[in-house]
Structure 1
Amino acid sequence: MEPLQQAILLRVNGHYQEARQLLLSLYEQDKDDPHISYQCAWVHDLLGMEKEAIPFYEHAINQGLSGQERRGALLGLGSTYRTIGEYHQSKKIFKQGMQEFPNANEFPVFLAMTLHNLGDNEKALKILLNKIVELTDDEGIQRYKKAIQFYADKLNEVWD
C-alpha cells in the first residue's frame, strides 16, 4: 500500500496522530503534492489543530487540487476560518466554493453560519429557508413553498 493511502486509512480508522505523523513525513518529502497537503489539513482539523490546518488547506488549493478534494478543501478552509473567528475570510472562501461548485448545497449552508457570526442574521435565515424549500420533499414545506420563498427576504416587514 502506498504511504498516502496508508495515512488516509489511518485517518479513516480514527488513528489521527499516527496519520498526522505519516502525513507530515510525506509532506516534507513532497511539498508540491496537493493531495498530501489536503490530507495534512484534514487530519489537523480532526485533531482540533485548526490554525495549523489552514496553511495546508491554502497550499493544497493553490497547488491545483481539483474535483471532490478541492470541494472538500474549500469547505474545510472556510469552516476552519469560521471556527477561529476569521469570519470575513470564511465568507470569502464559501463564496468561492459556491462559484466553483454551484450545485454543492453545503457551501450556502456553511455561509449562512458565517453570516450569522457576522451579524447578518436576516441574510443567513433567507439562505437557509430557500435551501430548505429547494431540498426537502416534505409535503408540508412544499405546500407552503411559495409563502416561505416570498417571506424569506421580508422577515422584518410588518403588514397593516
Structure 2
Amino acid sequence: MKKLEEAIELRKEGKLKESNEILINLAKDYPDNSVVNYQCAWSFDVLGLEKEAVPYYEKAISIGLSEKDLQGAFLGLGSTYRTLGQYQKSKEVFEKGLNKFTEDRAMKVFYAMTLYNLNEHSKAMEILLTNLAQTSSDKNIKTYKRAIEFYSDRLDEIW
C-alpha cells in the first residue's frame, strides 16, 4: 500500500504530524487492516498522544498481526497503558506479550517498570538484575554475573 509506505517514510524523516494524518485517513478507509491500525497507533505514540493510540493498538492486536508487528504492538500498548497510569492493564498486556515472546528483553524491562508502578519492587528488580547480568558487556558486571543473578530474587534475604 503506497500511502502506508509514504506515512512510514515520513515518520522516519521526523515528519510525525504529516505521517499521523495519513495514517488516520488510512485507518478510516481500511478499518480492518491490522497493519494500518498498528502503524496509526505508533504514530500517535511518537507524537505523545498515548490516549489516542490505545484503540488502534487494541484493534490491531485483535485483528491479528505478523509476529514482529504483534511483538511491537504488545510492547507499545503495554507501555502506553503504563504512561496513562493504567498499571493493571499494562501488566496484563505485558504478561500476554511475554507469554508469546518469552525472550523479548525490551518487553521484560518495560514490564519491570509497570511492576515498579504497582509496588511490586522485588519482582521488578529481579527482572532488571537478571537482564543486566545476562546482557551487559561491562567487564565488572561480567565478573559478578553469577552473584548478580543469584541475588536477583533474594534481595530481601539476610544471611
TM-score, structure 1 normalization: 0.94
Structure 2 gap ranges (5+) = none
Separation of aligned partners in 2, 1:135 and 1:112: 16
Structure 1 residues 6-85: aligned runs within 5 Å: 6-85=6-85
Question: Comparing 40-49 with 129-138, which one deviates more in the overlay?
Answer: 129-138
Separation of aligned partners in 2, 1:150 and 1:24: 48
Q: How many residues align?
A: 159
Identity %: 47
Structure 1 residues 1-160: aligned runs within 5 Å: 2-159=2-159
> Which letter does structure 1 place at the counterpart of 2:106?
E
Post-superposition shift, 1:29? 1.0
Task: Give the RMSD, CA atoms, in angstroms.
Answer: 1.2
CA contact 1:95–1:107 (8 Å) conserved in 2: no
Separation of aligned partners in 1, 2:22 and 2:49: 16
Question: Comparing 131-140 with 21-30, which one deviates more in the overlay?
Answer: 131-140
Match of 2:119, SS?
coil
Post-superposition shift, 1:128? 0.6
Separation of aligned partners in 1, 2:109 and 2:98: 10
Separation of aligned partners in 2, 1:105 and 1:133: 12
TM-score, structure 2 normalization: 0.95
Post-superposition shift, 1:129? 0.6
CA contact 1:38–1:57 (8 Å) conserved in 2: yes
> Which letter does structure 2 place at the counterpart of 1:91?
K
Post-superposition shift, 1:137? 3.0
Separation of aligned partners in 2, 1:143 and 1:128: 17
